[in-house]
Every structure is written in C-alpha cells, then in structure tokens.
Amino acid sequence: MLKKLVIKNIGGISEAEINFNSGLNVITGESGAGKSSIIRALELITGLRGGAKYIRAGESSGYVCAEFSDNKKISREILNTGRSRIKINNINSGLNECSQQVNKLMRIQSQFAQLELLDADRQLMMLDACLPLKSREILNEFGHVFDEARECVRNLRALKKQRAEIEKEYSNAKDIFELIKICRPEPGLENNLEINLTEITHKILTRERALQSINILTGGLSGDGLLNNLANEYENLFEFMPENVSENLREAINNLNDGLKISGKIKNEIQQDKILREKLENRLGALRKLKRLSGRHNEEELILYSDGIYKNLEWLEKSYTELQNLNLRSNDLKRRANYLAMEIRKARQECALKLSERVNKILQELGMNEIIFNINFNGLQKLRNNGADEIEFNLTDGVRSGKVEKIASGGELSRLLLALQISLPDEWLTPVLIFDEVEAGLGGHAAVLTGMELKKLSYKSQVILVTHEASIAALGDFHILIQRVKNESQIKNISGHDRIYEIARMLSGLPEMTEALEHAKILLNQNQKN
C-alpha cells in the first residue's frame, strides 16, 4: 500500500504531503487545480523519462518521494538538466532498478500508462496471466527449453566457427606435416644446415680430386696410367742400374701401387657424403618451404607453430564428436520447443476467448455497449522466448475494426484497462492501482457502474482515483481535495461537511445550492450502506 507521497516543485505543486489509506482513495478538484501533477509525480516514481519538463516553472529541480507499507521508501530528484537522482531506502539507485521495483508495487492507468496496453509483449503477458496452472507449467518448461536450445545453437555456431578457422589455417596440413617430418625444426637449424652443407660439399670435392689423381697414376679401368708406364720404363733400365737403386725403385713402385688401392674406399666415402648432402639439402629445402607456407620467419616461431598444429588438429579430430552431439541435442531441443509452443498456442486461444467474454461483459457495464473486444493471433515462423505467438488486442465499434489504439479514445482506453484489470487473475494485480479519470465520457448509470467496479477492485488492491464524477467520488473510502489558491496547488484530506461540500460542487458547480448538498449527502450515505 502507498502510505505517503511527498511532492516538491512538480507541475503546479510547490510542496505537498499526501497521505493515503487502504481501499478506494479519490482525488478531486477543479480543472487546472493540479490533479494531473499528482499523477505526473507518481509516474516519475515509476520511471517516467524526460521528467525535467514537469519541474515547476522557475525552479531548478523537482522532488518526489513515495513511502509504502512494506517500509520501502523511493525518492527521485529531477534536475532541469534532465538528470535524476534516485534513492531506494536512502541508497542511490538507477532508473531501471527503480522502475522494476516500483512496477511490482503499483500500476498507473493514465495516458502515459495506457501505452502498455498498446505493447504487444505486454498484451501477451496479460493473456498468459489467465492460463491455467498446467499451461503455465508448459510455458515455463518452454522457456527453459528455448533458453537451452538457444545456448546450444550459440555453442554449435561457435564450435563450427572455430573448426572452420582451424581448417582454413591448416588447409595445407598434409603438406605441412610432411615438411615438419622432413625438417624437424629446432633452434638455429637453417644456419647449421648451411654450415654442414658447405663442409660436406668441400669434403666431396677434396675426395673427388684425390680420386682423379689416383686415376691419373693408375690409369683407372684401362690400367694405362703413369705408374704402369713407369714400371715398363723401369724394366728397360733395370740391367743398367746399380743393384741397390733398382731394388729401391722396384719397392717404391710396388708400395705406390699398394697405396693407390684406396680408391675404392674413397669412392665409397664420396657416395656416402653425397647421400648425406642430399639429406641436408632436402631438410634445408623443407625448412625453407615450411617457413614460406606457415608464414613464420624463424625456427622459434616455427617450433611454436608446429606444436600448435598438432594440438589444433588433435582438437579438430576430437571436436567432431562434440559437433555431432551438439547437432543432435540442438535438433531434439528444437523439436521439443516446437511441440511445447503449439501446446501453448492452443491454451492461449482458449484463454483468449474466455478473457474476451469477461472483458466485453464489463465493457457493457461501463457504457461501452457498441465496443466489442477480441484478441487476434498471428503465428510466428520463428520461435521467441515467449512462444510462437504474437497477439493483438482489437476492438470493433460496429463500423470499424482494428487495433485498440485505432478505435478507442483516451477515455475508452482507460476503461478497457479497467475491464482488463478486473478480468485478469488476482495475482496480476499490483498492491496499488492508480486511475486517472477512467470515467471520462461517462455519466449517469454507466459512471455509477464504473465506480462500483472500481470499488470492487479496491477490495483486492489499494485504488487511487483522480475523478471528476461525483457519483464515483462518493464511493471513496478516503477523499483528497486539491485546490488552486493564489497560483499554488493546495492538497488536503477531507471528510464530513467538507466532503459533502466538494461532492455538491462536482454535482452542480454551485456547492452552496441546497439541492446539490442534499444530493451529495444521499450519495455519501448510499456509499456507507454499500
């Protein structure tokens, strides 16, 4: 329950403190007295934006503070710069937090608040409030399934993206693996390979030159070499040489022939060195190609890249199973969500008919006999977090048919909201309901019926009503009068003679008129009997 409202420099009110009671609280006063300023102040508490325009002329700031029966105190100071300072139980808060908390405590049916009736999501929430328990459980399950399905799709999308990135980066993985296998990257490898290649090439050249010299001396396969010629010439000179010289020369030729038999060994070493050189060249070539393909510039980067490719490709292989499981889970969740959405649609359509019947009955009692309320369904192709339905509150006035805002006037929208409030389950109601001239355009019996409906509503929630209708004001349990005195709005709680006087003013405009005073007494006495 709203216990007290403090207002400073809002609209036409410079300063006021208003106390409220349970039941039906009525606020009355002449046009222009400042009743709308009270509604604006309450709207500012609920989170109305752009509140700077409601600051009293000439003032730099405005202030509103609402105290509720649960010891909750919410205040908002509005600066002419457009900024706000909000406190909940004297602790600084934000506008969204304030709005969330206040909207649980009270709802305002004013021109500003009527916008909620035009919001498709809000309309669906109203309809869902009428669902039976089993259907609400299905709706709740759908919410969980939908969230899980959406999370599953997000994970699936992320997994596919990661796999695609790895597959793209390592699209030439087969070639790279072969190159890694050949070059076996290690720090300083290219420089070491170049040095080893230079050394092995030098050894091969040296051995090849030695082999060439041996072939010159021995004659190779032909055997017609320098040593053979020397031996032949030696035979011609043998008998003319001293014995010791000839023996030494023969021994030298034989030793040289024996020494030159190493040609086979040299050939074998050259062959081995060439094999080693080819391996070094292949490794160096593979290293340079690997650097080019991987875009890495040195062995350290290449080693990290090589480690990474093994890890990523190993993950790629393992993630395939996860990808399959996510696909299966995603499809299962989508099927379940679609099934639940169709069950919810059936329940909503049944509830829509029942809610329309209740609302139309109340609209007739509120003097809207020509208006028929109905709820249209639009099936969605794509699931949303509240199902697969989009609904539309429609009105038909006998000539036109369309959305409520295209058919109903401001006063009719207020009465439609009232009819909905009465028709919706009690749990939909907030502890405080505020109505701004809900009876606009009504009179006579229709106005009385509207008042009676508000009275019934006040048994469930505290009702605060701004009204110009005397028959409704007389039904109030608590009466607040706002008057304009010397350009100032003054607010006070009235009872007894003051209340009779105010009801008489509302009836005739002439509160001193005897007939008006008598009529006012009758209305108030009738209220006491009710």
Q: Is the pLDDT of residue 221 over 60?
A: no
Q: Yes or no: say if 463 and 25 are a contact pair by the CB < 8 Å rule.
A: yes
- If we measure between CA atoms, which residue out of 60, 81, 71 comes closest to residue 105? 71
Output DSSP code: residue 112.
T
**At 251, is the pLDDT very low, low, confident or very high (cuts 50, 70, 90)?**
low
Q: Yes or no: say if 485 and 46 are a contact pair by the CB < 8 Å rule.
A: no
| pLDDT tens sequence across 150-171 | 999 999 999 999 988 887 877 7
Q: Yes or no: say if 503 and 471 are a contact pair by the CB < 8 Å rule.
A: no
Q: What is the pLDDT of residue 528?
A: 65
Listing DSSP states for 464-523 in one string gives EEE---HHHHTT-SEEEEEEEETTEEEEEEE-HHHHHHHHHHHHHS-TT-HHHHHHHHHH
> Mean pLDDT over residues 285-297, rounded?
85
Q: What is the pLDDT of residue 235?
A: 62
Percentage of the chain surpassing pLDDT 90? 42
Q: What is the pLDDT of residue 312?
A: 80
Listing DSSP states for 198-252 in one string gives HHHHHHHHHHHHHHHHHHHHH-GGGT-SHHHHHHHHHHHHGGGS-HHHHHHHHHH
- Residues 90-102: b if buried by 16+ CB within 10 A, e if exposed: eeebeeeebbebb
**At 260, is the pLDDT very low, low, confident or very high (cuts 50, 70, 90)?**
low
Sign of CA dihedral 210, 215, 217, 218: positive
Residue 241: φ, ψ to 5°: -95, 150
> Mean pLDDT over residues 415-422, rounded?
84
Q: What is the pTM of this model?
A: 0.65
Question: What number of other Cβ atoms are within 10 A of residue 20's Cβ?
Answer: 21
**At 244, is the pLDDT very low, low, confident or very high (cuts 50, 70, 90)?**
low
Question: What number of other Cβ atoms are within 10 A of residue 164's Cβ?
Answer: 10
- Spacing of C-alpha 119 from chain mean position: 20
Q: What is the pLDDT of residue 492?
A: 92
- If we measure between CA atoms, which residue out of 473, 519, 158, 177 comes closest to residue 326? 158
> Mean pLDDT over residues 356-381, rounded?
88
Output DSSP code: residue 452.
H
Distance CA 321, CA 332 (A): 17
Q: To the nearest 10°, the Cα dihedral for 444, 450, 456, 458? A: -110
Lowest mean pLDDT of 36-40, 94-98, 107-111, 267-271, name the range: 107-111
